[in-house]
């Protein structure tokens, strides 16, 4: 029986819990426009802010550097006595007095009481914390009435916070009001004028992904807001979009292959210690466990069920991926993995995987190789992973749809090439 989803609490100004799905992808950016420091009165707190946009991938956006007029002076007399609905006054959002006069949370995501992400002012510092890692920006030098863009960026191996604005003469005609409306973000063209002033803080670390249990909880609580806008299958750069159902088997296959491509990209950018015992490759079952930890959270928000070491008549299948089509058909893909230096590499492709597919009546089959050859290991005889893939694809049975490589090697250092 499926466990009950733990409670999800997500706060991002007026955003609702369903918007938490946008924090599921392993890469992303939140942009707060026309932001300023909060101000307290005797019974209320006001903070200037404009639109908030969320991107599904990390990277500096065109919205980072904008010019904003400094905010109007606001007094308590300007603010209604009734704060119901958090009234907007002179481009400020006003609400009940914050409990802690030294802190102001801008965005917070909690699952079952545990913090996943937090963005907050602490005095005149900006704190960004995600999955146990944090960065801070010292904003003491920024005038109290200055408005700026705050960009919060995350990926599987870094987090970054950027506070940015433009300075210079003649910028008034580029003023974007309180910021660019969300519906216009896709067509916004930056002015490319003025001097860009930026405060930035970044932290790099080993691979960290949203835990699968947390991803599933957020997905379940937000699933009514998920729209399958691209039923033809996402291109690789959109693999972070949450899904509920699949148009057909080809859509499911392509989406799963794109998940594998994302994992390959993650592995190429990180140190794959989880796949090694010192200088020796781990066994396939142990490496499969490490690979599963990368696959699980991504599959969770694609609404793909992942089963590992699933029993079959002829043995345990490494990975089984299960999804639902729009016609409510159950779709199934098998991923069988082998170390590229295994003596049974070819037989796993030509005999083992086809047999598993037949026994389970699986719709699709993909053969994956774990590539270790590099700085500390010199097998197999193939020079590169691409050479190994080309050789295996030439002997691939028709019922096997693709052969993919997961590069878990320690590459030769560039200085020694």
Count the neighbouring beta carbons within 10 Å of the beta carbon of residue 100.
Answer: 9
User: Does residue 354 come out as left (phi exceeding 0), alpha (psi in the -120 to 50 range) or beta?
Assistant: alpha
* DSSP, res 390: H
Count the neighbouring beta carbons within 10 Å of the beta carbon of residue 412.
Answer: 11
Backbone angles phi, psi at 206, to 5 degrees: -70, 170
Burial of 167 (0-12, 13-18, 19+ CB in 10 A): exposed
For residues 413 and 248, which has the higher predicted lDDT (pLDDT)? 248
Domains and CATH numbers, the chain: 8-204 (no CATH), 226-416 (3.40.91)
Backbone angles phi, psi at 178, to 5 degrees: -85, 0
pLDDT digits (tens, 9 = 90+) for 398-411: 999 999 999 999 98
From the list 68, 77, 18, 64, the residue with the least C-alpha distance to 48 is 68
Residues 84, 66: contact at Cβ < 8 Å? no
Strands lying side by side in the sheet with 315-324: 305-312, 315-324, 330-339, 364-371, 402-407
Evaluate if residue 150 carries a pLDDT over 50.
yes
**232 pLDDT tier (thresholds 50, 70, 90):** low
Q: Which two tokens stand for residue 258?
A: 């794109």
Average pLDDT, the chain: 88
Residue 362: the pLDDT is 92
Evaluate if residue 111 carries a pLDDT over 80.
yes
Give the chain's length.
417
Mean pLDDT for the stretch of residues 111-130: 93
Residue with tokens 């080993």: 206
Backbone angles phi, psi at 89, to 5 degrees: -135, 120
**152 pLDDT tier (thresholds 50, 70, 90):** very high
**Percent of the chain residues past pLDDT 90, beyond the cut:** 54
| Residues whose CB is less than 8 angstroms from the CB of residue 127 and which lie 6 or more positions away in sequence, other chains included | 118, 119, 120, 121, 134, 135, 136
pLDDT digits (tens, 9 = 90+) for 368-390: 999 999 988 999 999 999 999 99
For residues 290 and 61, which has the higher predicted lDDT (pLDDT)? 290
Mean pLDDT for the stretch of residues 219-235: 69
User: Does residue 404 come out as left (phi exceeding 0), alpha (psi in the -120 to 50 range) or beta?
Assistant: beta
**Percent of the chain residues past pLDDT 70, beyond the cut:** 93
Mean pLDDT for the stretch of residues 37-56: 89
Residue 416: the pLDDT is 53
* DSSP, res 295: H
pLDDT digits (tens, 9 = 90+) for 209-226: 888 888 888 888 888 777
From the list 62, 45, 326, the residue with the least C-alpha distance to 186 is 62
Lowest-confidence region among 49-53, 84-88, 198-202? 49-53
Lowest-confidence region among 42-51, 75-84, 128-137? 42-51
Angle of the 249-269 helix axis to the 284-301 helix axis, nearest 10: 120
**Can you tell me the distance from the alpha carbon of 52 to that of 141, in angstroms, rounded to the nearest whole number?**
24
Residue 1: the pLDDT is 42
Angle of the 284-301 helix axis to the 212-222 helix axis, nearest 10: 20
Cα-Cα-Cα-Cα dihedral sign, residues 378, 383, 384, 390: negative
**Helix (H/G/I), strand (E/B), else coil: 294:** helix
- What pTM was computed for the model? 0.85
Evaluate if residue 314 carries a pLDDT over 60.
yes
pLDDT digits (tens, 9 = 90+) for 330-340: 999 999 999 99
Residue 417: the pLDDT is 45
Mean pLDDT for the stretch of residues 37-57: 88
**Can you tell me the distance from the alpha carbon of 108 to that of 118, in angstroms, rounded to the nearest whole number?**
4
- 29-48 as b/e: b if 16+ CB within 10 A: bbbbbbbbbbbeeeebbbbb
């Amino acid at each position: 029986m499926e466990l009950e989803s733990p409670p999800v609490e997500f706060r991002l100004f007026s955003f609702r819990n369903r918007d938490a799905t946008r924090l599921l992808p392993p890469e992303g950016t939140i942009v707060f426009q026309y932001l300023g420091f909060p101000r307290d009165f005797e019974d209320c707190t006001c903070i200037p802010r404009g639109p908030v946009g969320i991107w599904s991938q990390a990277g500096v956006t065109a919205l980072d550097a904008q010019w904003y007029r400094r905010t109007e002076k606001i007094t308590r007399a300007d603010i209604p006595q009734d704060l119901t609905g958090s009234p907007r006054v002179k481009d400020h959002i006003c609400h009940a007095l914050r409990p802690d006069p030294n802190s102001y949370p801008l965005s917070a995501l909690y699952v079952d009481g545990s913090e996943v992400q937090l963005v907050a002012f602490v005095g005149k510092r900006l704190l960004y914390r995600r999955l146990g890692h944090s960065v801070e920006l010292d904003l003491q030098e920024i005038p109290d009435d200055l408005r700026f863009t705050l960009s919060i960026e995350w990926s599987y191996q870094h987090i970054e916070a950027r506070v940015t604005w433009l300075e210079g003469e003649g910028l008034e005609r580029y003023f974007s009001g309180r910021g660019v409306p969300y519906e216009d973000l896709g067509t916004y063209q930056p002015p490319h004028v003025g001097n860009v002033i930026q405060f930035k803080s970044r932290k790099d670390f080993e691979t960290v992904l949203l835990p699968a249990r947390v991803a599933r909880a957020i997905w379940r609580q937000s699933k009514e807001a998920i729209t399958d806008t691209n039923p033809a299958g996402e291109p690789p750069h959109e693999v972070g979009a949450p899904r509920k159902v699949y148009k057909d088997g080809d859509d499911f296959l392509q989406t799963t292959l794109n998940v594998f491509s994302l994992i390959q990209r993650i592995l190429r950018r990180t140190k794959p210690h989880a796949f090694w015992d010192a200088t020796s490759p781990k066994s396939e079952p142990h490496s499969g466990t490490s690979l599963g930890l990368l696959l699980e959270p991504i599959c969770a928000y694609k609404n793909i069920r992942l089963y590992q070491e699933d029993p079959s008549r002829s043995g345990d299948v490494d990975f089984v991926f299960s999804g639902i089509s729009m016609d409510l058909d159950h779709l199934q893909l098998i991923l069988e993995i082998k170390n590229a230096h295994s003596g049974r590499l070819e037989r796993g492709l030509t005999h083992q995987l086809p047999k598993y597919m037949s026994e389970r009546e699986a719709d699709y089959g993909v053969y994956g190789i774990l590539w270790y050859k590099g700085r500390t290991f010199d097998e197999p005889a193939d020079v590169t992973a691409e050479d190994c893939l080309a050789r295996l694809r030439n002997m691939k049975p028709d019922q096997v749809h693709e052969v993919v490589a997961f590069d878990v090697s320690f590459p030769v250092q560039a200085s020694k090439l």
